[in-house]
Amino acid sequence: MTPLNSDVRQYLLVTGNYWAFTLTDGALRMLIVLHFYSLGFSPLAIASLFLFYEFFGVVTNLVGGWLGARLGLNKTMNIGLFLQVSALLMLLVPAEWLTVVWVMTAQALSGIAKDLNKMSAKSSLKLLLPDSAQGALYKWVAILTGSKNALKGVGFFLGGLLLSQLGFGGAIASMAAMLLLVWLASLVLLKKDLGKSSFKPKFKDLLSKSRAINQLSAARMFLFGARDVWFVIALPLYLSSQFQWSHTEVGSFLALWVIGYGLVQSIAPMITGKGHDAGSARKSLPDGKTALLWASLLCTIPLLISFALQYSSSPLAWLIGGLLLFGAVFAVNSSLHSYLIVSYAGRDGVSLDVGFYYMANAMGRLIGTLLSGWVYQAYGLNACLWISSAFLFATVLVSIGLPRLQNERTNDM
């Protein structure tokens, strides 16, 4: 690892930035859901507050990958941190200014910031290890992805706690101050040419020409739509309205769920078998068949939760148990996908492929968020769970076509 010491230090800086951002991102989401629900906003109105957040995530991942390849990942990372600070400051206005349009605009900045940071962090890992070190790549991607989601869970808890202790304005101000310090440190410490490609990609290079990346991106879109259609809006409001949970209780529970989800992501290589980097053992690395298997295992879980909620005399116990099972299996699915995209992506201009993939991820989140508010308001949580299973079935169908051998590369597709 000696020759990589400089790169490792830079990647740790990127990861630290990503972690700090993730704390504020998770906390801000929980703050907005709980605060505006307490103000009397309907589930659909709350979902609309995240419309620009998810929509601009789609645009940012597509354009951000191109910017990262042309300008360098250090610039896209620092721009993301600055935009998140700006989004937080926008919410420090008098309460009467916090209209739906104003909050949606602030969330648009936050959505752009989030996906610039995610794209920068995930793309950097491809540059750290040689193409031959696929087992190590899987492990490092799993650790990054899992730790990020564990911290997002801490952010959920932090959001509920800060709202209870400091109020909406105090919570926002404290997060803005913390992230401002992180941004200033990043401006000084990040290398100036991190992730810059050796060529100047054209705008037409934004759309992937790889069948493997296109199929994996489609699977990712349905996978995250299946999660967010019931988890983002419907679940916290259901816990609050049906079981009279407080803001802190909702935030704490979702925080623990996401932390556990992140921990499972981190150990996904141990669950699926990370293999080795040489000889025939290479075939034990995850491939399309592995992704298909785990998507199939996940497909029926939302339906089982729905039946339990409808017919059980202990719906809360079944809901919590189903959530734990769904989270564990979903975490493995997500970690597998995160490894496969970094593995499939080209080394030069890696952010183009990773950005395209996370554009599909953001599209799934956008669709899921909108449906979560509308379907829950109109038909309830059970309907959200049925739609979740339908999306997961689509993930299974798309995953059938993923490459079965890990040594198949995107330029072979």
Asked if residue 199 belongs to a domain, the reply is: no
Report pTM.
0.74
Residue 297 within any structural domain of the chain: yes
pLDDT of residue 177: 93
Letter string b/e over residues 316-335, b meaning 16 or more CB atoms within 10 A of that residue's CB:
eebbeebbeebbbbbbbbbb
pLDDT at site 37: 79
Number of domains in the chain: 1
pLDDT for 17: 84
pLDDT tens, residue by residue, 100-153: 888 888 988 888 888 788 777 767 666 656 555 566 667 777 777 777 777 887
Residue pLDDT, tens place only, 232-286? 888 988 988 888 888 778 877 887 888 888 888 888 888 886 544 444 444 567 8
Range of the domain at 318: 2-189+205-412
Q: Which residue has the higher pLDDT, 31 or 352?
A: 31
What is the rounded CA–CA span in Å between residue 30 and residue 145? 20
200 within a domain of the structure (yes/no): no
Answer yes or no: is 348 within a domain. yes
Provide φ and ψ at 190, rounded to 5°.
Answer: -75, 140
pLDDT digits (tens, 9 = 90+) for 204-217: 656 656 788 889 99
Distance separating alpha carbons of residues 20 and 15, to the nearest angstrom: 9
Kindly tell me if the per-residue pLDDT of 412 is higher than 90.
no
Tell me the CATH number at 126: 1.20.1250.20
**CA-to-CA separations, 3 to 9, 129, 199, in angstroms, rounded:** 12, 11, 25
CA gap 229, 240 in Å, rounded: 17
Domain presence at residue 212? yes
Residue 369 lies in a domain: yes
Domain assignment of residue 184, yes or no? yes
Mean of per-residue pLDDT scores for the chain? 80
* Residue 271 domain flag: yes
